[in-house]
Amino acid sequence: MHRPIPIVMLLAVALAACDGTEPVTGSATPTRGSGSPVGSTTSPSQVPASPTPPATPASPPSTKGPASSSCANGWVTPKEGAPRFTEPLGIIRRTTGIEGPLVVVDMRYFTGPESPPSEQGYILEVERWYIKLYAADDLAFQGRFLVEARGFGRGVAAVAPYDTTGFRSPDWRGFQYEVGAQPKAYPGLPGSWPGTEYDFVRGGEGIKVPGLPAEVRGCLDGT
- Contacts of 102 by beta carbon, 8 Å cutoff, 6+ apart: 22, 24, 25, 89, 92, 93, 133, 134, 135, 136
User: Strands (DSSP E) along the chain, which ranges?
Assistant: 64-65, 75-76, 102-112, 126-135, 138-150, 153-161, 173-176, 184-185, 192-193, 196-199
Label each residue of 185-215 as H, E or C: ECCCCCCEECCEEEECCCCECCECCCCCCHH
| pLDDT score at 28 | 34
**Dihedral over alpha carbons 6, 8, 10, 16 (to 10 degrees):** -140
| pLDDT score at 52 | 73
User: Which of residues 88 and 53 earns the better pLDDT score?
Assistant: 88
* Span 16-33, average pLDDT: 35
> For residues 38 and 19, what is the distance between their CA atoms, to the nearest angstrom?
44
Domain ranges of the chain: 7-20+70-220
Amino acid at 190: P
Residue 163 has pLDDT above 80, yes or no: yes
Residue 26 has pLDDT above 50, yes or no: no
Altogether, the residues listed in the chain come to a count of 223
> For residues 70 and 106, what is the distance between their CA atoms, to the nearest angstrom?
20
Residue 25 has pLDDT above 50, yes or no: no
The answer to whether 110 touches 126, Cβ cutoff 8 Å, is no
Q: What share of the chain is helix, strand, coil (3-state, %, to 5)?
A: 15, 30, 55
User: Which of residues 4 and 211 earns the better pLDDT score?
Assistant: 211
Lowest mean pLDDT among 14-18, 100-104, 157-161: 14-18
**pLDDT category, 38, cuts 50, 70, 90?**
very low
User: Which of residues 48 and 29 earns the better pLDDT score?
Assistant: 48
Amino acid at 187: P
Share above pLDDT 70 across residues of the chain, in percent, rounded to a whole number: 71
Residue 19 has pLDDT above 60, yes or no: no
Amino acid at 92: I
Other C-beta atoms closer than 10 Å to the C-beta of 69 total 8
Lowest mean pLDDT among 17-26, 31-40, 214-223: 31-40
> What mean pLDDT is reported for the chain?
79
| pLDDT score at 49 | 46
User: Which of residues 17 and 188 earns the better pLDDT score?
Assistant: 188
Lowest mean pLDDT among 28-37, 78-87, 105-114, 136-145: 28-37
pTM: 0.76
